[in-house]
Structure 1
Amino acid sequence: MSNRPPRSAPMRAAASAGISRRRLLGAGALAAAALPLAGCSSPLGAGLLGTELNPETLVYWNLFGGGDGVRMQDMQDGYRELFGPRSLQATTLAWGNPYYSKLTLATVGNQPPDVAVAHLTRAKPLWNGGLLDPIAEEDLAGVGLTTEDFNAQAWATQRTDDQNIAIPLDTHPFTLFYNREVCEQAGLLDSDGLLVDLTGMDVFEAALKEISAVTGGTAITVANVAETSTPWRFFWTLYNQLEGATPFLSDDGATISVDEEKFLEVTGKIQEWVEQGWLNSALDYATSQTEMFTGNAGFYLQGEWEIATAQSIDGLDFGMASIPQLFDKPAVQADSHTFILPRKERSPQQRQQAMEFIKAMLDQSMIWAEGGHIPAYLTTAESEEYLALEPQRHYADSADHAVYDDPAWYGGSGSTFEDTVGAQLGLVQQGALTPEQSLAAIRNQLAIYTSTPSPL
């Protein structure tokens, strides 16, 4: 039993008024467009199936699998320890477009969860579609939070229309993994066994040359076969390091505004590295990491979540670092997992209940950080415990230089935009397309989306 005083039973939310036929049809269109892109599982949570719940039970949806899923379950159990075994019904749905389609349909159908997870880049289209409730300063204050409690970059990015639309749990950036044995032979480790400073294109390329001499071939691997998100993250990181880089998309996805000269500069550099033999021309996701794990490459670029995979390899001595600044300024592609309040009528007690859940999750951010994600909650991010965490502390500054995908109804993590653009960027790395051809293909393939208003 919880020692917390009993909470007054919140009334279940009444059906929200004002759901238009256009919005209902739009949600269906969005789901129809999204579902062919990924597998779909049946929703198990209350609301969509209309199951009856104890009015004290908070309904929570998320999309976490693998190691993240295990850690989230531990955090959910922490909430139950505070508020009782029946205080939470948590449901995990299929990652990517299937999850967001179900969340959209449930919200339009007046049966959303009380709290849900969303990538920050996917929260913005939900907000623009009128599917989220804003989070007021009073909501934060009610659980002892302020805007200053969060990483400034993540918090500023979630601010939309002068409103708080989401509460960041983390930042998960594109990151550099390195094989210590290879890098030591290449003379790239300092006296503490950490990667030396590789700021600057000349310095970085000299490092690639040294690694290639050790491996007899590849120096750095980036997945690009049957994989679209990684080529996008690779490009978006380097592109945003160029001074004056414009958004790829503007007007909420209606305009392709990428700087053509800078696009060609970055993609040309990628092809140059392949031609030098430093960067792989064609590797799938698993093989790209195996090459570094086995010492056939010194560097491997991927999201920090692959820390769990690296740690599971017996005998692998690896390190992690923020991706170096190669051009004019530091920047790294990233997203954030956030907590959102799907739009519904809520009593004051229900809003407080939702915020108490979010606060309980933030208080357990150290569990989340062990999986590689950088805590957005500064109480954890600035704690001695986190700053002693290896190798997480060596790339924690990436959160301050995070660059998120541009807002678009078809954009964000795991989206149609990333699939489309990433596929063409992967073909550039493979040498199948010139940079000019890839840009023309991207413009052509995105035309249907840029010319289509948001379904919501």
Structure 2
Amino acid sequence: MRNRPPRLVPGGSPSTPALSRRGVLGAGALAATGLSLSGCSTPLGAGLLGSELDPGTVVYWNLFGGGDGVRMQDMQAAYREQHGPGSLQATTLTWGNPYYSKLTLSTVGNQPPDVAVAHLTRAKPLWAGGLLEAITEEDLAGVGLSTTDFNEQAWSTQVTDGQNIAIPIDTHPFTLFYHREVCEQAGLLDGDGLLIDLSGKDTFEAALAEISAVTGGLAITVANVSETSTPWRFFWTLYNQLETATPFLSEDGAVLSVDEDSFLTVMTTIQEWVEKGWLNSNLDYATSQTEMFTGKAGFYLQGEWEIATAQSIEGLDFGMAPIPQLFDRPAVQADSHTFILPRKDRSPEQRRLAMQFIKAMLEQSLLWAEGGHIPSYLPTFESPEFQALEPQRHYASSADHAVYDDPAWYGGSGSTFEDTVGAQLGLVQQGASTPERALAAIRSQLEIYTSTPSPL
């Protein structure tokens, strides 16, 4: 679906895209294809099962589980302590498509939450479908925020059609974990015990060879069995380091525009690393961690959120660093968790309360950063407390080189696009396909989506 100028609707504003009839029908289609919804932390108080609430209560939906979920619960508790026990009704829904289907349906019915979390890459199709309200300069100023309070890369990426569609709380990039003992034996640590600069493909490959000599096998692990998001993040990082790289998708997902030569360059490199024994051919998510955690590999690539897992391993001495620049420019695959305002009838006071809640969450983003995420809110990022946080401060520069997935109604974190493309990339790493066959399969399998108008 192409971006279009916003238009007025009853109860809307010039900054709010209209919800089309196709959006209503599309919500049903999304619900039909989504998985069952579960995992609610509290009874639903808004949306299809809504009930009347105190107008001073902020209704908030998120999709956080695990360590993120615990930290978010603590942040919510702090908000209630400051504003009263009835000031917030928070609900946690199942991560991925179930969450976004529920959010879409509730917005169509004019009973969405006041504030919701969305991955930045998933916020864009919601905006294109008329499901979000723009966040104005007045909204920001009303709670003491401005556009200059945020990481430039994350903020500029959320701007769509000249409008602010989301407020990022973090950047969560693909990151390099390293085993200090293995890397020390390989001569890859500096005097402070930190990984030396490994920029340049030749330098990085020499490091892989040194690590392999220490371990007697693997140097680096990347999950690729029963896992599709990780192969995609691995590819998208290296692909965007090439000057010849083009968007994988264009025109909101209607055109497959990947540069074939750049694709083959990256996948041939990955294939060669496997053949040399440096990179695993077959490892699932958990085992790819275990190989590095137990010293059977020196490097492990995954999202920074796995910091909590690494920290839970008794006796593990590990570090984290940005993924080195191997080709022409720095780049790393990333996404951002953001706060959005779903389109609904709301009073100016309800809008102010929603923004007040967002501001309160941003002010607690040091706690959020303890889980590995890089704060987008600059007062937190620049604070002495965050700059002293280990090992977060050593990979925090990744946020400035974040590359997000291309906008598409079937794309973004945990999406059909990542599942489809990541599966083919994983087959190349497993030795079950070639880069050329993988690209042909991707073209074929994505055709149904590129040729289908957005249901939103």
TM-score normalised per structure 2: 0.95
Q: Which residue of 2 aligns with 1:213?
A: 213
Offset, 1:204 = 0.3
Equivalent residue for 1:41, pick from 38, 54, 59: 38
* SS of aligned partner of 2:138: helix
State the percentage of identical aligned residues: 81
**Which deviates more from structure 2 when the two are superposed, residues 21-30 or residues 271-280?**
21-30
What amino acid is aligned across from residue 253 of structure 2 in structure 1?
Answer: G
Q: Tell me the equivalent position of 2:97.
A: 97
Once the 2 structures are TM-superposed, how far is the Cα of residue 388 of structure 1 from its aligned partner?
0.4
Cα deviation for residue 42 of structure 1 reads 7.1
Whether the 8 Å contact between 2:19 and 2:130 is mirrored in structure 1 is no
Aligned to 1:284: 284
Amino acid at match of 1:46: G
- Whole-angstrom CA distance in 2 between matches of 1:376 and 1:79: 20
Q: Which amino acid aligns with 1:157?
A: T
Mapping 1:18-97, distance limit 5 Å: 20-35=20-35, 40-41=37-38, 44-47=43-46, 48-97=48-97
Aligned to 2:337: 337
Cα deviation, residue 20, structure 1:
4.9
Paired residues of 1:45 and 1:61 also in contact (CA < 8 A): no
CA distance in 2, matches of 1:369, 1:287: 26
Moved more, 234-243 or 47-56: 47-56
Q: Deviation of residue 52 (structure 1)? A: 2.4
Distance in 2 between the 1:254 and 1:358 partners? 33
* Aligned position for 2:153: 153
Seen in structure 2, the aligned counterparts of structure 1 residues 297 and 42 have a Cα distance that, compared at 3 Å, is closer
Please tell me whether residue 326 in structure 1 is matched to residue 323 in structure 2.
no
**Distance across 2 between alignment mates of 1:42 and 1:363:** 27
2:20 and 2:117 mapped to 1: Cα distance?
A: 25
Which residue pairs with 2:169 in the alignment?
169
> Within 1, Cα distance between the matches of 2:23 and 2:154?
29
> 1:14-65: CA deviations, max 9, x gaps?
9879865432211111222343xxx532764212212222221110000000
Q: RMSD across aligned C-alpha pairs, in angstroms? A: 1.3
Give the structure 2 partner of residue 396 of structure 1.
396
What is the DSSP-based 3-state SS (H/G/I as helix, E as strand, rest coil) of the residue aligned with 2:407?
A: coil
The corresponding residue for 2:346 is: 346
Cα deviation digits, residues 333-366 of structure 1 (max 9, x gap): 0000000000012211011000000000000010
Q: How many residues align?
A: 440
Q: Which has the higher mean CA deviation after the structures are superposed, 188-197 or 41-50?
A: 41-50
The correspondence of residues 108-147 of structure 1 with structure 2, limited to 5 A, is 108-147=108-147
Given that 1:333 and 1:402 are in contact with CA atoms closer than 8 Å, whether structure 2 keeps it comes out as yes
Residue 211 (structure 1) shift: 0.2
2:178 match: secondary structure = strand
State the TM-score, normalizing by the size of structure 1: 0.95
SS in 2 for 1:395: helix
Quote the residue 2:5 is aligned against: none
User: SS at the partner of 1:253?
Assistant: coil
SS at match of 1:267: helix
State the partner residue of 2:7: none
Given that residues 135 and 164 in structure 1 are in contact (C-alpha distance below 8 angstroms), is that contact kept between their aligned partners in structure 2?
Answer: yes
- Answer yes or no: is the 8 Å Cα contact 1:45–1:59 preserved in 2: no
Distance 2:448 2:243 in 1: 30
Cα 1:19–1:155, aligned 2, differ >3 Å: closer, same or farther? closer
Match of 1:7 in 2: none
Structure 2 alignment gaps of length 5 or more = 1-9
Q: Secondary structure at the match of 2:252?
A: helix
Residues 414, 134 of structure 1: alpha-carbon distance in 2 compared, 3 angstrom cutoff: same
**Partners of 1:394 and 1:312 in 2: how far apart?**
19
Whichever residue aligns with residue 150 of structure 2, its letter is F
Q: Distance in 2 between matches of 1:447 and 1:189?
A: 46
**CA distance, structure 2, for counterparts of residue 381 and residue 29 of structure 1:** 40
Asked if the contact 1:310/1:316 (under 8 Å) is kept, the reply is yes
SS at match of 1:116: strand
For 1:81, give the aligned amino acid.
E
- C-alpha distance in structure 2 between counterparts of 1:179 and 1:155, whole Å: 33
Match of 1:243 in 2: 243
Determine the C-alpha separation between the residues in 1 that align with 2:274 and 2:37. Answer: 37
- Give 1:235 shift: 0.0
Q: Counterparts of 1:50 and 1:362 in 2: how far apart (Å)?
A: 27
Distance 1:378 1:433 in 2: 44
The range that moved more, 75-84 or 136-145, is: 75-84
Unmatched tracts of structure 1, length 5 or more: 1-13
Aligned to 1:305: 305
Query: Does residue 180 of the first structure (1) align with residue 180 of the second (2)?
Result: yes
| Code of the aligned partner of 1:305 | W
Aligned residue number for residue 370 of structure 2: 370
Q: What is the alpha-carbon distance in structure 2 between the residues aligned to residue 291 and residue 42 of structure 1?
A: 31
Distance (whole Å) between structure 2 residues aligned to residue 210 and residue 119 of structure 1: 38
Name the counterpart of 1:418: 418
Q: Specify the SS of the correspondent of 1:252.
A: coil
Query: What is the DSSP-based 3-state SS (H/G/I as helix, E as strand, rest coil) of the residue aligned with 1:172?
Result: strand
Equivalent residues of 2:428, 2:438 under 8 A apart: yes
Structure 1 partner of 2:265: 265
Look up the equivalent residue of 2:23 and give its one-letter code. Answer: R
- The alpha-carbon deviation at position 82 of structure 1 amounts to 1.5
Are the aligned partners of 1:174 and 1:332 in contact in 2 as well (CA < 8 Å)? yes
Mapped to 2, the partners of 1:342 and 1:258 lie a distance apart of 32
